[in-house]
A and B are shown apart, each in its own frame.
Chain A
Amino acid sequence: MKAVYERNPLLMGSNKFCPGCGHPLLNKIIADVLAENNWAGDAITALCIGCALNMTPYVDWDLVQCPHGRAAAVATGIKHVQKSKLVFTYQGDGDAAGIGLTETFHAASRGEPFTQIMVNNQIYGMTGGQSSCTTLIGQKTTTSGPSGRDPAHTGYPTKLAEVIAMVDAAGYVARVSIHTPKHIRQAKKAIEKAFRLQMEENKYTFVEVLAMCPTNFHVEPWDAPAYTEEKVLPVFPLGEFKTPEGR
C-alpha cells in the first residue's frame, strides 16, 4: 500500500512548545522544505535563545547554539567556513530585531550568503511575556503597564522586514504568516525560495514569520489564528518586500 502521508523523520518525538504555538508548526515547515529538496544533510542552523530552544531535542539537523541576539554573526562565521552548506538562523523577534539588530543589519549589509528566519510573535515568549520592540499598540505584556503598549512611552512596533528590504545587499526579503493552511503554503514557498537563492545564487535572504503565541496573547490556542488575522496582520503586512530582479 502506498503511504499518502508520513511523519517527517527530521522531527524527532514530541516537542515541549505550548499548545497552539507557532514554533513547532514552523519547525515542520522547515523540515519539509529540507526533506523535499534533499537539503537536510547540508543544513546548519544558528539557533537563537528564546522559546526556539525547544527545537534542540526536536529537529534532526546540525544546530549551533548562539548567545542571545548573535545568530547572524555566528551564521556569518559558519558560512565562511562551510561555504557550500545551507546555513540559516532561527531567531525570535527579540533576538533578531531587539538585542541582535546590529548583527542582523550588518550581516544583511555585507550580503552574507545565508538565510535569516525571524519568528515574530510580538513578545518575549521564553522569559514569560515581556514587551518586545514588535509588541502591538495596546497589547498587554508583563512589562507594558495595565493599559498595554503606549506609543507615547515606547513608540511603535519594529517592522524589520521592511527595514532589511532597504539594504542593498539583501537578495530576498519576505514576511509570511502561518495561521491558516493557505498562509502555511505561502510561508513554505517563501522559505524554500530564500534557501534556494542562498544555495544557487549566494544571496543573503530574510524571512519574517508571524507566529502565534497563545500563551502570551492570552487567548485559547484555537482562537490564536483569528487573533493573528484581526490584530497582527493590519500592523505587519505580508508579502515579498524584495526579490532578485522582480522574480
Chain B
Amino acid sequence: MAKRELMSGNVAMAESAIRAGCNFFASYPITPQTTLLEYMSTRMFEVGREFIQAESEIGAINMVMGAAAAGGRAFTATAGMAVSLMMETLSYLCAAKLPSVVVNIQRTGAGAGGITSSQTDFHYATKSMGHGGLHAYVLSPGDVQEAADLVYDAFAFAEKYQCLVYILTDAMVAQVMEPVELKPMLENLPVREGSAQGSALGGTKRINTINRTDLRSLEGYRSFEAMYDTWQREEVRYEEYRMEDAEIVLVATGMSARIARGAIDTLRAEGVKAGMFRPITLYPFPTQQIRGFAQRGIKAVLDAEVAVPAQMIDDVDHALQGSLPLYKIDCTWNTVFTTEDIEKKLREVAQEV
C-alpha cells in the first residue's frame, strides 16, 4: 500500500495532476488557489514538465487551450472572479473538444466577493460553460483524498470523452490538511492523435480546430447532446451516507457535506432515520437517483448549501418533481452554518413529516 501523507487539498490536487500525466500548467495567482500554483512552480520543473505563471487568467486558459490543441495534458486552477475571465475560452475548449482540466476553488459572492469558502458558483459551473450552452463534466470533491482522486481521474476522463473536466471545489476542501494516499505516477503517455503537431505535406494529417465541420452543425450539437445523455446514464457519481432506511435525506456537496456529516450521526443517535446524499458529479447531476427517493420510503429532503440565494436546490427540486417536501438551510459570506444548525433543522423537518 502506498504511504499516506498529510497534505492540503491544493497540494494533493496539484501532485495528483502531475501523477496523472499533466505536462502543462499555466495559472495566475488568486486566493485561495495560490498554494496550488506555488507547488506547481517548483514541482513541474522537478519532473521536467511545463509551468507558466501567465499574465492573467485569460492568458492562462488560452495557454491551456494551445497546449491541449498540441496534444498536451493541460491543467489550470483558479477561483472566484477569475473564472469569469476564463469563460470565453472554456466555451472554445468545449466546442473544439480539447481535453483539459480546470479547478475552481470557490470563494464567496459576486463582484470582488470575499475569500471565505463558499458554494456560489454552482449554477455558473453547471448550466453552460460560457456562451453557447455546452457543458464540462463537473465534479465536487468532499475531502482531500477525493479531491486528489477526482483530479487524477479527470485527465483520463478528459481524454476519453475529449472534453473539459471542471473540478468545482471550495476553500475548505482546498486548504484543510488531511492524510492522503496518492495514486502512482503515470509516465510515457502517448501524445493524442489528431492534435496539432505539424502535419506532413499532403494534407491528410492536417489539423484545424475550427474546421470541425462535424461539430459546427446541427448534427455536431446533437453529438454533444448524446454525449451528455451518456454521462447522465453512465458517469453520474454520488455518495450515500447512512441512507439504507433513511426517511429524511440531506442533500449537500463539498464543504456543506463535511459540516453535515456529524449532524446525521447525531440524529441517528437520537433515533431519527436521517441520511445524506452527496452528489459528486454536479454535471451530470444525479437527477434519476434523487427522483427515486420517494420509492425508497424517504419522506422529506433537506438541501444544504453555502449560497444565498440557494442554487443547487433548483436541480434537487427539478429532480424531485414535487414528489417529496423539500426544505433548505443556506448561508453565505461570514456566516457558515454549523453542524448544530443542521441538527436543529433536521429535527424541525423530522417533526413536520
Contact = CB atoms under 8 A, between A and B. Distances in A.
A10 B203 CA distance: 9
Given A62-B208, A80-B52, A85-B198, A74 B69 contact: yes
B33 interface: no
Interface stretch (A53-61, A127-135, A179-187): A53-61
Contact of B70 (A44, A56, A61, A86): A44
Contact of B67 (A42, A57, A81, A102): A81
A38 to B, nearest CB: 9
A155 interface: no
Interface string A79-93: 111100110000000
The 4 closest A-B pairs by CB, nearest first: A77-B66, A65-B210, A73-B62, A77-B67
A161 B69 CA distance: 28
A82 B71 CA distance: 8
A41 B66 contact: no
Nearest to A105: B55
18 contacts: A60-B202, A61-B199, A63-B211, A64-B207, A66-B62, A66-B65, A67-B88, A67-B89, A73-B58, A73-B60, A73-B63, A74-B65, A74-B66, A76-B62, A77-B65, A102-B59, A105-B55, A106-B55
A80 B24 contact: yes
A12 B204 CA distance: 13
Interface residues of B, number: 41
Contacts of B92: 65, 67
Contacts of B65: 64, 66-67, 70, 73-74, 77
Given A62-B207, A70-B89, A79-B66, 7 more contacts: A10-B201, A77-B62, A77-B65, A81-B66, A102-B55, A103-B58, A110-B52
A81 to B, nearest CB: 4
A64 B199 contact: no
Nearest to B72: A81
A63 B203 contact: no
B96 interface: yes
Contacts of A21: none
B216 to A, nearest CB: 11
A120 B96 CA distance: 28
Interface string A26-52: 000000000000001111101100000
Contact of A46 (B26, B54, B60, B66): B66
B290 interface: no
Contacts of B96: 65
A80 to B, nearest CB: 4
B197 A44 contact: yes
A151 interface: no
Given A78-B196, A82-B197, A73 B66 contact: yes
A191 interface: no
Nearest to A42: B198
A9 interface: yes
Given A77-B64, A77-B70, A77-B72, A64 B196 contact: yes
Contacts of B218: none
A224 interface: no
A75 interface: yes
Interface string B303-338: 000000000000000000000000000000000000
Given A67-B92, A82-B197, A85-B197, A74 B63 contact: yes
B22 to A, nearest CB: 12
Nearest to A109: B55
B209 interface: yes
B309 to A, nearest CB: 31
Contact of A63 (B50, B67, B208): B208
Contacts of B123: none
Given A73-B54, A77-B24, A77-B26, A61 B198 contact: yes
Interface in B47-101: 50, 52, 54-56, 58-60, 62-72, 74, 88-89, 92, 96
